[in-house]
Structure 1
């Protein structure tokens, strides 16, 4: 990993974001933490080493004011040298029963707000000369799954956003990473999601596993795509190469999935 600098971690009041913040701080980097829950952010900041010199901003990044507050905090901290977009929401629901507001909320939280914040912080990242951008996606961002239409759409979008930025800024000192975890044990998972994972025998990782994958990507010093978990990693790649095989496999699971839809 590059020399110590200031990393912005969004979603830091959640399980994955908090674990990433602790892992990055342990490497000696300074932190600007963002999330909606100020109490959780303050508790996280109190656990971090003094070298992290943590600043936290409780804000809703889906709003222009929330993003502006975070950008100002980064400027006051001397500028962002890295951005880890870990904020997001889950959504397991029958698409035909979703209303416009819920669809908009999922896409905004998982994609639009991330794009807008990244654009707002780009001047600081590019001024660093050698910055990292990490987007936390999902296996469902390359392997669309029944009951996750809006969620998969938002995470597919994030995957495409990461790929485009990696290519667009390849010669400008911005290293773009896309990390795609499989099921992870966090509060984002509803009871229905947990029950479905149990019924299907899906394995879940801890947030610490995702955090270590982020560190490994940063240590590698080059951007790229990182899929976590087996056999999820295999199925994600198979879906890109031969989606008809995955269509057939998931068709046999539809009845089970529908029984668990809320």
Structure 2
């Protein structure tokens, strides 16, 4: 995809990866429509790149706000690329999570993403060429203890991307699925970072992740999994899940120790720039 002068809608733009991605896309000459709830952060980005950024303050879990996003897209003459990057994460054992917290996570990470995509597809179809980019996670392929609800949402997003890609195979709309691994952003609590350090899990710089996302968009790469050995674990989990079970079983005591320490902080989900900022 030619990024220069492309009209790109980006949800979850105010988070760690999202802000860097805005910088990279603007540097390449794209025109962005940013969607989010953090008006101050969005205004700051718009001031840095005058003439390239438009804003829509929206809570994507609300039907009326999703319709406002669609109206904004129509008012600017359409869109060439949609990047679904909004979502929340929560590190906690499932039995320690409230029903409301689980519902909120699934509502934003899955339901709102599908509903917004449903509304935007007719507008994408009007373009000579268009991309739909879903930012997932390594946890969309590997179930990891302490992230059961989050993993469920990312497994759903991966399946949605695969099915929709096949559904649109005879159209001019391409569907991309990009799965980062652990990333050093504010969405990860101190306990998550400490756990990853103890388990020797690498965490990527959000600038590196944004660069990989941009390259995938330019090359129109249908699927991309970031990080090694995470790429290998994704394949192993698909072919030999029992082998991964055994490896994660050894890590379970460490995960439980940090998940219990993070229980109270994790009770309130944290907004993030994109799904998959953790993995």
Following the alignment from structure 2 to structure 1, what is the Cα–Cα distance between the partners of residues 206 and 113?
Answer: 20
Q: 1:73-105, CA deviations, whole angstroms, 9 ceiling, x for partnerless residues?
A: 111111111100111111111111222111111
User: Which residue of structure 2 lines up, in the alignment, with residue 30 of structure 1?
Assistant: 31
Preserved CA contact (<8 Å) 1:140 1:155? yes
User: Which residue of structure 2 lines up, in the alignment, with residue 129 of structure 1?
Assistant: 128
Give the alignment of 1:201-220 within 5 angstroms.
201-220=200-219
How far off its partner does 1:4 sit?
A: 2.5
Following the alignment from structure 1 to structure 2, what is the Cα–Cα distance between the partners of residues 37 and 235?
Answer: 35
Following the alignment from structure 1 to structure 2, what is the Cα–Cα distance between the partners of residues 185 and 203?
Answer: 9
Preserved CA contact (<8 Å) 1:181 1:210? yes
User: Which residue of structure 1 lines up, in the alignment, with residue 232 of structure 2?
Assistant: 234
For the residue of structure 1 that corresponds to 2:134, the secondary structure is strand
For the residue of structure 1 that corresponds to 2:87, the secondary structure is coil
How well do the aligned residues superpose, as a CA RMSD in angstroms?
A: 1.2
Preserved CA contact (<8 Å) 1:19 1:207? yes
Q: 1:190-221, CA deviations, whole angstroms, 9 ceiling, x for partnerless residues?
A: 22211211111111112222211121112213
TM-score (ref. length: structure 2): 0.90
How far off its partner does 1:125 sit?
A: 0.6
Following the alignment from structure 1 to structure 2, what is the Cα–Cα distance between the partners of residues 219 and 205?
Answer: 21
Following the alignment from structure 1 to structure 2, what is the Cα–Cα distance between the partners of residues 76 and 199?
Answer: 50
How far off its partner does 1:49 sit?
A: 5.8
User: Which residue of structure 1 lines up, in the alignment, with residue 270 of structure 2?
Assistant: none
TM-score (ref. length: structure 1): 0.95
Gaps of 5+ in 1: none
Q: Which has the higher contact order (CA 8 A, sep 6+)?
A: 2
For the residue of structure 2 that corresponds to 1:78, the secondary structure is coil
How far off its partner does 1:48 sit?
A: 2.3
1:251 to 249, 252, 257: 249
User: Which residue of structure 1 lines up, in the alignment, with residue 7 of structure 2?
Assistant: 6
Please identify runs of 4+ aligned residues in structure 1 that moved more than 3 A.
none
User: Which residue of structure 2 lines up, in the alignment, with residue 98 of structure 1?
Assistant: 97
Number of matched pairs: 259
Q: 1:91-136, CA deviations, whole angstroms, 9 ceiling, x for partnerless residues?
A: 1111112221111111111111111111111111110121011111
Preserved CA contact (<8 Å) 1:182 1:232? yes
Following the alignment from structure 2 to structure 1, what is the Cα–Cα distance between the partners of residues 59 and 202?
Answer: 31
For the residue of structure 1 that corresponds to 2:83, the secondary structure is strand
Following the alignment from structure 2 to structure 1, what is the Cα–Cα distance between the partners of residues 107 and 185?
Answer: 20
For the residue of structure 2 that corresponds to 1:128, the secondary structure is coil
